[in-house]
């Protein structure tokens, strides 16, 4: 089950990266909570897109090659991003709103699943 999770989260990351790069204004306008962070900054948005691109590629590589190191590295940015969004949610007062739901389903759950899946891989040549 680890490999399908890594591929699914990797594809989600690549898709989000493409959305940010190809339609940054649409991404900014349609993802709940993004516009609350201030005006669209194309440089910053595309930096996030690049981080998602690398994370997604590393997760897919990990799934295809059983490379635990690549998987953990690919999931690490996603995990830190998820923890940051939890911190934001706490400072927003724990609201049960659309932003929290989108963060849970689109950021936190995929990040935690990817990190757990990657951590459980056994790299080739290793014994567990």
Please name which of 69, 72, 24 lies closest in space to residue 50, comparing C-alpha atoms.
Answer: 24
Helix (H) and strand (E) counts in the chain: 6, 0
> How far is residue 107's CA from residue 9's CA, in Å, rounded to a whole number?
10
Q: Taking the domains of the chain in order of start, what are their residue ranges?
A: 2-119
pTM for this one? 0.90
Per-residue pLDDT for the chain (128 aa), expressed as one digit of tens each?
999 999 999 999 999 999 999 999 999 999 999 999 899 999 999 999 999 999 999 999 999 999 999 999 999 999 999 999 999 999 999 999 999 999 999 999 999 999 999 999 986 645 44
């Amino acid at each position: 089950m680890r490999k399908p999770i890594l591929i699914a989260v990797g594809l989600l990351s690549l898709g989000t990266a493409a959305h940010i790069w190809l339609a940054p204004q649409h991404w900014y306008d349609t993802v709940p909570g993004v516009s609350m962070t201030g005006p669209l900054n194309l440089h910053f948005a595309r930096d996030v897109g690049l981080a998602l691109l690398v994370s997604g590629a590393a997760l897919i590589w990990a799934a295809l090659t059983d490379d635990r190191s690549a998987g953990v590295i690919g999931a690490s940015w996603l995990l830190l991003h998820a923890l940051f969004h939890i911190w934001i949610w706490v400072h927003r007062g724990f609201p049960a709103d659309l932003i929290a739901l989108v963060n849970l389903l689109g950021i936190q759950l995929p990040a935690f699943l990817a990190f757990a899946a990657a951590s459980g891989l056994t790299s080739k040549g290793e014994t567990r």
